[in-house]
Structure 1
C-alpha cells in the first residue's frame, strides 16, 4: 500500500511554483502526476477534493467491494429525472478520495476489442488505435500468472504477449470462486459461445474468467493511490487533499490574443487560494467534473455559461455533451440454498465475523471472491438476421450523430464484426436494488447482469446557476442528464435490451447452470418474456460515463473539446486526461483503459515538454 502522504498546507502548496498542476488525484490524475514527477527537473502539484485514506478496510479488502458507495468517499452524484426510466433519477457513484473511482470500483480489469480503439483513430484521432494504446496498457500493469491447477480448474487463460509485466497496477486471477463459476463456461458453450483464451489481446467476444486489479501477494485492491504513489518522498511532487478546484485561471496573451492557462483556483477549508502552473494545467477530474471545471473556467457553450453567470472565454458547445454510459439491468434467480452465497455475510453476523477472521489470518475465503464469470456477445449470436438488420437500418438513419460517427455505429451491427455488444455477468447473491426478498423465507438468490456496451442514448453534463440566480459554483453538483432510452437512439437501446433480457433468461435456464437454479424471481416467472416494463423500471448505470470532453478528430472543435494530444481547443497550456476524452464508448469496463489513457497522456506531455 501507499506510504503516508506527506502533509502540506494549502498556503504552502499555493506558494510553490509548479511546472504542472494536476486537477484531480484520481485514477488518471495520479498516473499523470507519478509519470511526470519521475523527471526530477519537473515539479508537479496535485489537487484532490477528497481525503488521503490509507489502508481503509472497505477499499483494500476485495470482498468489501461496494461498501464505500453512498458513503463519505463517494461524491454521491445523481442524474436528473429520466423520462426513459419512468421519471426515475439514478445514483452516480464517483470516488471522492485519493485514488478516485479506482478505490471504489469492483476491480474488473479487461480491455475492449481492437475495433473499439481503432474507431477512435478512424474519427481522425491519430495515435489512438489498438496498436498505439497496447504499449500503454502494458505499461500500467504487472500481470501475475495463476498456478497450473487454478488455471485448469477455473479456465484462466491469457495471452502472454498482451499483458504487462512491470507496471504499477498488480493484476491477477482470483484463487477462489463462487460455486456457480464452475458451471459458467460449459453453460455458454451449450449456447455456442466459445471460451476466449485471449480476451485482453484484441477481442473480448466469447466467455471468459475475468482478471482483477488485486495484488495476489497481499490479496488487496491494487489502485491508483496504492500503486502509483509508492514513493511519496519525491521532493518535486506535492499532493494537496481536501481541496476543491473552483476554476482554471486563464489569461489573454497581449501579443497573440490567445487564452492561456496559468494556474488553478481552489478552496481549502474556508479559504480561497490560487496556485501557479509554469507549463501546463492538466484536468483529470473525470467525465462528470472535467466538463464542470472547464465550464466554471469560461470554456463551454456560451448560452449555458451565460445562464450560469460565468464569463465566456471560449465558446465550445461540445463541452459536457456526447455523454455515453453503459446501461445495466439485473435479473434475479432463486438458487440452491445449500451453496455458499455472499448474501450469507450480510444476513449472518457470525458468518461475516468468521470470513473476516479467515481473511485476516490466511488471506483466503469469502472476502477474496469477486464476480468473475463474464461473457461478451454480438447481437447476431442470439438475434435473427432480420432483427439485426432492422436495428442496423434504424442506426443508419439517426441524425443526432455525425456521418462518420453514424457509420461506425452502423458497422457494429454487421454479423461479421464479432463485437461484444452485450455483456453478461453471473454471480451468486442478489445484486438488484429493486428486489427485496423476505429474509425469513430461507431462499437464496443469484444475479445475471446484462450491460449494453454501445448505447445510442447520448446525454450531457452541465453546470447550472445556484439558487436565486447566484453564479454557478464548484460546490454545486452539475446537472447529469444521460437521456437513457430517449429519442430514436434510445429506443434502439430499449429494443436491444429486451432481446438481451430474453437471452439472459435463456442462459440461466441452460444446463449445467440450470442445475442449481430453481426459478426466476425477478422479474417474476409469471411475467413470461415480456421484459419491456421491467427494463424501464429497473435499468441502472454500470458507472462507466465517457465522452464529455471528447477528442474532436478531423472535425476539431466542431465535434470535440480536445485534440489528439488532449489539448483543449482554443487555450494554450491546458489538457484533459481521463475517460471524458473518449469520443465513442467501448465494450469493456473502463478501468484498464483509463490507466492506458493516462499513461499515454503523460507520455505526450513529456514529449511536448521535450523531456528525455
Structure 2
C-alpha cells in the first residue's frame, strides 16, 4: 500500500521538488558562456599573506583597488579596466551570483533573504516605529543588491540632481551633478528593449547600447486595474517615468530584465567573460575587507592599500599605487571607513581606533525610504501568490510556471512583484483638498515643484515582513505607500573595532511628525484608490473578517492610521547618504569628485555619497554615479602617470 501524507507535508514535498527543479533547470539554461580568467583568483597569487612582521615584505601592487563588488563596484571594475594601462583589483565579500538561480529568475529574489548570501542585518529597536528592530536585506554577492531587489528601473526626479548641486554650495565640480549633465550617464548604462505592449514609450529617450538591459516583465490582471483606478482617482497614467519630463503619474514598472527574461544584475551586465579576461583586471571573492591602509608620513594621509580576510581566517594585503575606492554600500562603506580610522574622532577613540581623519559625517545623515504594506483578499483570484508554493496546488502551478519560463523566458516568474508604480505630491490640492487636509500639517520636502514625496505601488500577491511572514492560504493583492523624502535621519556606528561584528544601524524611522503626516496621506490615498473602480471590484469582502488584512483601514481615524503606520513601517531597501557629497562643515564626507575630504586618493562610490536621498529608487542613480566616477578615476590615474 502506498504511503499517505498529510496535506501540509505533501505541500512541502511538492514545493521542495519544485525548488530542486528550479535550481537544476536554471543552472542549465543560464550558464554563462566564456571563461573567468579574473574571477575567483587565488588570493595568495593576487595578494600577500600578512606575516608576523609587516615590514618584512612588499605586498602585491595595483593602480586601483575597489572595495566592494556590489552595484557600483561592478561598474567601476569594468569601466576603469577598459584602459589596459590601469591595473585594477576588485574585492568582494561574497561570491559570484552569475549562476545562482535566485539571482537569475526575477520573481525569486526573496529566496536570497536571510540566506548565506545576505548580510542578515538588523537595525536597533526603533522607538518611533513600534519599538521594534527592523530586518535590512543586503546582498552579499557580486552585483550586490541588484541580485536581491524588485528590479525597479527608476532614476528619481530630475530636480533631485539639481538639488545635489545646490547642496555642494559652490564647490568646484558641483555643477557636473545637474540633471542635464548627469543624464548622459543614465543613458550610458541602459539598453532598453521596446515592447509592443507599451507602444507609447519614446525609445529615443531611452539608452540603446549600454550593458544594463531594461524592459518589461510580467503584468498581472490587477496591474492594469490599479493603473486605471489611479487614473480615475486623479493620478494621470503616463508611459514612462524616467525622462526629463519628470516622474509624476502612474505607469507599469520598467525593470532590469533581459529579452530572455533574466534578471540583469550589475555582475551580469558589467563583469562579462570578455571583461574578466582582461589581464589588467583581477577579482577576488569571499574577501572580507577589514581596513584601508594609510601612509601618514606626509602633510595629508594617503591610502596605500587594503587588508582583507578569507573564510579560512587568513589575512591578506594588497597595495594601491594610485587610488582606493570604497564601494561597499551605504551600510558597509562607512563601517569600513570607521574601522580604518576615518570618521567621527570621538567615536573612533571610544573603540580604540587611531584617527586618520576626523570626519563627523561618516555614518551620519542615514536616510532610507519607509514603506507600509496593505494586504487585501482578491476576489478575482488573478494574482501570483501560487509562486510561493504554499499548497499542493500552488506547487504544481509553480512547476508549470517554471517550465513556461524555461521554454519562453516569459510568464509570471518574470514579475518583479512591485509591478505598477505611481508618484504624487502630498501637497497636491487635487489629491488632498485643503479643506480635508490642512496645509499646515505638511512641510514640503520635495526637491522641486515637479518632484514627488509619495510613491504608491501595486503587488499581485500579499506578503508580510519582506515575504518572511505568513498569510492564510488564499488569493491576495497588496498596495504600498512609500515616504520618499524623509526628514528623519539616522546613523551607522561601530559596535566594536572587530571587523566581524556588524555595524549598529539606527535609521531613527518616523522620528518627525512630518514623516508620519506624509505617510498618513499616502495611506488615505491608497485606500481611496482601493475603493475606486476597477480595482474596487477585485476586493473580496470576506477579507474584512481577517484581522491580518487591511480591508477596514479606511475606517480608522488619523490617530489610528498613524499608529498603524508606526507598526507597519519597513525598509524599502534604500539606505543612502552616510558618506555625503557635501562640504565638510555641513557634514560632508566626499567632494564633488567623490574624494574623501583630506585624503585625495581615497574615494567613495555608492548610495552613501548621495547628498540627500532621491525621490525614487536608488539602483539607477548608483549605476549612473559609478559610470561617472569611473571617468573621474581614469582621468586622475592617467594624469598621475
Structure-1-length-normalised TM-score: 0.90
Q: 2:99 aligns with which of 49, 52, 55?
A: 55
Q: 1:193 aligns with which of 235, 241, 244?
A: 235
Cα pair distance change 1:252/1:526, threshold 3 Å? closer
Give matches, 1:311-460, under 5 Å. 311-343=354-386, 345-347=388-390, 348-370=394-416, 371-381=418-428, 382-385=431-434, 387=437, 389-392=439-442, 395=443, 410=445, 412=447, 417-433=449-465, 436-439=470-473, 443-460=474-491
Residues 1:592 and 2:620 aligned together: yes
Which residue of structure 1 lines up, in the alignment, with residue 62 of structure 2? 18
Give the Cα–Cα distance (whole angstroms) in 2 for the partners of residues 209 and 300 of structure 1: 42
Q: 1:228-276: per-residue Cα shift (whole Å, max 9, x none)?
A: 011211100000000110111011234xx21000010111221111100
Give the Cα–Cα distance (whole angstroms) in 2 for the partners of residues 388 and 3 of structure 1: 61
Q: 1:546 aligns with which of 558, 565, 576?
A: 576
1:577 to partner: Cα distance: 0.5
Asked if 2 retains the 8 angstrom alpha-carbon contact of 1:343 and 1:430, the reply is: no
Give matches, 1:389-538, under 5 Å. 389-392=439-442, 395=443, 410=445, 412=447, 417-433=449-465, 436-439=470-473, 443-465=474-496, 472-486=497-511, 490-519=512-541, 521=544, 522-525=549-552, 528-530=555-557, 531-538=561-568
Asked if 2 retains the 8 angstrom alpha-carbon contact of 1:345 and 1:351, the reply is: no
Structure 2: gaps (5+ residues): 1-31, 48-58, 169-173
- Secondary structure in structure 1 of the residue aligned to 2:596: coil
Give matches, 1:67-106, under 5 Å. 67-106=111-150
Q: 1:168 aligns with which of 195, 205, 211?
A: 211
Give the Cα–Cα distance (whole angstroms) in 2 for the partners of residues 191 and 527 of structure 1: 15
Asked if 2 retains the 8 angstrom alpha-carbon contact of 1:328 and 1:452, the reply is: yes
Residues 1:295 and 2:321 aligned together: no
Asked if 1 retains the 8 angstrom alpha-carbon contact of 2:386 and 2:397, the reply is: no
Structure 1: gaps (5+ residues): 396-408, 466-471
Cα pair distance change 1:128/1:391, threshold 3 Å? farther
Residues 1:179 and 2:221 aligned together: yes
Cα pair distance change 1:328/1:602, threshold 3 Å? same
- Secondary structure in structure 2 of the residue aligned to 1:510: coil
Asked if 2 retains the 8 angstrom alpha-carbon contact of 1:334 and 1:444, the reply is: yes
Cα pair distance change 1:5/1:105, threshold 3 Å? farther
Give the Cα–Cα distance (whole angstroms) in 2 for the partners of residues 145 and 186 of structure 1: 22
- Secondary structure in structure 2 of the residue aligned to 1:234: coil
Give the Cα–Cα distance (whole angstroms) in 2 for the partners of residues 491 and 223 of structure 1: 37
Give the Cα–Cα distance (whole angstroms) in 2 for the partners of residues 183 and 436 of structure 1: 25
Asked if 1 retains the 8 angstrom alpha-carbon contact of 2:35 and 2:277, the reply is: no
1:388 to partner: Cα distance: 6.2
| Aligned CA-pair RMSD | 1.9
Cα pair distance change 1:308/1:159, threshold 3 Å? farther
Q: 1:272 aligns with which of 308, 315, 322?
A: 315
Give the Cα–Cα distance (whole angstroms) in 2 for the partners of residues 97 and 27 of structure 1: 10
- Secondary structure in structure 2 of the residue aligned to 1:318: coil
- Secondary structure in structure 2 of the residue aligned to 1:608: helix
Q: How many residues align?
A: 570
Q: 1:335-390: per-residue Cα shift (whole Å, max 9, x none)?
A: 11532433454222111111112211222222122332111011133223474631
Give the Cα–Cα distance (whole angstroms) in 2 for the partners of residues 539 and 31 of structure 1: 32
